[in-house]
Amino acid sequence: MTRATTVRGASEPIRRRTFLAATLAAAAAASAACGFGGSDDGGSADNNDDSGAGGSGDEPQRGGTLRQSMLPVTLLDPAVNANYSFGQIMMIGLWEGLVVADANDPIQVVPGVAESWDISGDGLIYTFHLRGEARWSNGDPVTANDFEWNWKRILTPGIAGESSPSYNRDRISVVGAADYMNGEIDDFSSVGAKAIDDATFELTLEKPDPDFLIYLSQFWALPLHPATVERLGDGWLDPENWVSNGAYVLDEFRVNLGAVLLPNDHYWDKDNYYIDRWEITFNDGGTTADLLSYQSGDLDITGRIEDDLEAVTTSDVADELMSSGTNQYRHLIALNSRHPALHDIKVRKALALAVDREALGGVGKPAIPGKSLVPGDVEGSDEVPGVEYDLEAAQNLLAEAGYPDGEGMPTITILDFQTSPWVEAIAEMWRKNLGLNVVLDIVELGVYSEKLNVPVHPEDYVGFMVTNNSVQPPTVVGAAYNNLQPIRTYGMNLSPPEAVDDILDELGADVDTAQIAAKLDGKRHPEVEQAVELAREALAQTDPEARTSLAIEAAIARDESYVSIPALWGGYFLLVKPRVQNLKPWFHTSVMSTKGVWIKQ
């Protein structure tokens, strides 16, 4: 094996560009012989000042209780894709994987249980060397066999029950993993996840992936204690039986109420964790309850504020709002309708060009203007030009499409389950500058979901849905996956109504939209088909440089298909009390780590 990349030491991050350069160089040598808010400047929140949550010139103090609120967490199991960011915040504290995200530069990773690793010259084999001091909270050593056992568990068919498994077979290409997960093979020795000895663990990929280590730092790759799970079954989840290998152990867990996490005395890196007690309150009551608790001093951190950001940004604690880097985007997605208007790319482009995103930034705070579906802090975003405001071009395009000054255009409906000033601002721009009749259809969340599952809306329902998405991992290759993710007949599956009708005739009236979407290849509008195919080509590439280049092309093609109209960029946001020092939100779905965080007494 050629050792193209080696990492040594507990604090040195591996750089993705270093990996790319090393992989390409080694390959050449072989042939010759990789919440939603935003900062005002379009990047990460400034966490390098000398006061407040972002940083401090003072020496860290040990002790204190961190009080945090979040949505209710129902299950703490890394194998199950549930609870979204809130459960992941807790899991990242309770367990540690082979590598962890670097809070100072979250696009990088630093050593976790693995103190070092090697990557083969072809970028396919990752060999992890486990640190001898890694221990479970009961004192047992953490071994490579523990990781092999956990990989077998997360890939076992049905492990997630009725929920979704956390291992994403479409994004993570470990040899044999998808086949084992699908039940096509039952011999786990065929899967590229193996313990070589007690201190060496090996993962083999089907193709090089510069983003693999970033994926590996996420919650799905966290290990459970095999002996406890085998002995107790689901009883391993009870705090009285708790065994984990992260910075904390679970001391209390009360469904719908909250949890308490305490330091793990056996954790190898415990000296870099300063908090004595982490109290978590579950709140399903919305922003108002959390904001009041935060203002009254009962909470130190809350991210339960997304349903009424205006209340936060206009409150007396607005200056305590922190944001990660921008990897999220708010946008309008074209719905499929029997009316021809939005099936015309000229009309969709006109609507996209007529959005003044700088003006939106004034009403959408803490989000910032976003001109592309690849936000500004996503690696590679500088190669994606996005959509610029050009009202004259928008008016000309609308006229070319047969709708001069909006004449003959149907009423444009914008579907959402909550009111948002920035959405109303877009509607007013289209009314005033394009002469369109625009209405907002604000419905209950259940009705919103029902309307999204309509394969083709009637001729009198023409418009867009409002949504917020993120790029994970925050790279342009991660963005390419988003070209392939939508499962309904809108956005990246926008197709002529007759094509959808043919599929309905074939499959039957009771078919769901995911089944329809699976039949749409070759039937989408050409500009949409191009964006989908470029993304597939990018993700099928084995050459990292070519993969990134194609991913950039796919991102540009998606923007230029105008099936989604970008509006604002943002990140995960938190209200954080000034007494909480050195907290640095990141743009992974786990939102934050408490490593290095301390309470100013």
Q: Does residue 580 belong to any structural domain of this protein?
A: no
User: Residue 250 pLDDT > 70, yes or no?
Assistant: yes
User: Residue 3 pLDDT > 60, yes or no?
Assistant: no
User: Residue 57 pLDDT > 50, yes or no?
Assistant: yes
Q: Does residue 395 belong to any structural domain of this protein?
A: yes
Q: Would you state the pLDDT for residue 517?
A: 78
Domain end (from 181, 210, 232): 232
User: Residue 516 pLDDT > 90, yes or no?
Assistant: no
411 secondary structure, DSSP code: P
User: Residue 309 pLDDT > 50, yes or no?
Assistant: yes
**Together in a domain, 503 and 380:** yes
Q: Would you state the pLDDT for residue 83?
A: 60
Q: What is the pLDDT of residues 337-382, one digit of tens each?
A: 999 999 999 999 999 999 999 999 998 888 899 999 999 989 899 9
Q: Would you state the pLDDT for residue 169?
A: 83
Three-state SS across 298-328?
CCCEECCCHHHHHHHHCCCCHHHEEECCCCE
Cα–Cα distance for residue pair 31/24, rounded to 1 Å? 11
Q: What is the pLDDT of residues 158-198, one digit of tens each?
A: 888 777 889 988 788 899 999 999 999 999 999 999 999 99
Q: Would you state the pLDDT for residue 311?
A: 85
Average pLDDT over residues 376-402: 95
Percent over 70 (pLDDT), the chain: 89
- Measuring CA to CA, which residue among 168, 149, 160, 118 is closest to residue 8? 118
Q: Would you state the pLDDT for residue 84?
A: 62
Q: Does residue 357 belong to any structural domain of this protein?
A: yes
Average pLDDT over residues 580-600: 91
Q: What is the pLDDT of residues 502-511, one digit of tens each?
A: 988 888 777 7
Lookup result for tokens 């230029």: 560
Q: Would you state the pLDDT for residue 56?
A: 53
Q: Would you state the pLDDT for residue 86?
A: 80
Confidence of residue 4 (pLDDT cuts 50, 70, 90): very low
Percent over 90 (pLDDT), the chain: 63
Domain end (from 212, 232, 252): 232
Domain end (from 232, 259, 274): 232
Count the domains in the chain.
Answer: 2
Q: Does residue 380 belong to any structural domain of this protein?
A: yes
**Together in a domain, 220 and 335:** no
What values do phi and psi take at 539, rounded to 5?
Answer: -75, -20
Confidence of residue 97 (pLDDT cuts 50, 70, 90): very high
Q: What is the pLDDT of residues 426-482, one digit of tens each?
A: 999 999 999 999 999 999 988 998 998 888 999 999 999 999 888 888 889 888 888
**Together in a domain, 338 and 196:** no
Q: Would you state the pLDDT for residue 18?
A: 36
**Together in a domain, 534 and 428:** yes
Residue 567 vs residues 333, 422, 468, 506: alpha-carbon distances, Å? 11, 8, 10, 37
Higher pLDDT, 469 or 261: 261
Among 1-10, 64-73, 461-470, 538-547, the range scoring the smallest mean pLDDT is 1-10
User: Residue 21 pLDDT > 60, yes or no?
Assistant: no
**Together in a domain, 199 and 338:** no
Q: Which domain holds residue 156?
A: 3-33+72-232
Q: What is the pLDDT of residues 173-182, one digit of tens each?
A: 899 999 999 9
**Together in a domain, 422 and 531:** yes
Q: Would you state the pLDDT for residue 423?
A: 95
Domain with residue 469: its CATH number is 3.10.105.10
Q: Does residue 578 belong to any structural domain of this protein?
A: no
Average pLDDT over residues 508-520: 77
Highest-confidence segment of 62-66, 82-86, 280-284 = 62-66
User: Residue 514 pLDDT > 80, yes or no?
Assistant: no
Q: Does residue 237 belong to any structural domain of this protein?
A: no
Q: Judge residue 564's burial from the number of C-beta atoms within 10 Å of its C-beta, 0-12 exposed, 13-18 middle, 19 or more buried.
A: buried
Q: Does residue 41 belong to any structural domain of this protein?
A: no
Residue 263: CB partners within 8 Å, gap ≥ 6?
A: 247, 248, 249, 270, 273, 275, 276
**Together in a domain, 384 and 502:** yes
Cα–Cα distance for residue pair 237/80, rounded to 1 Å? 13
Mean model confidence pLDDT for the chain = 87
Higher pLDDT, 27 or 109: 109
**Together in a domain, 202 and 347:** no
Domain with residue 135: its CATH number is 3.90.76.10
User: Considering the entire predicted model, what is its pTM?
Assistant: 0.80
Q: Does residue 161 belong to any structural domain of this protein?
A: yes
Q: Would you state the pLDDT for residue 397?
A: 98
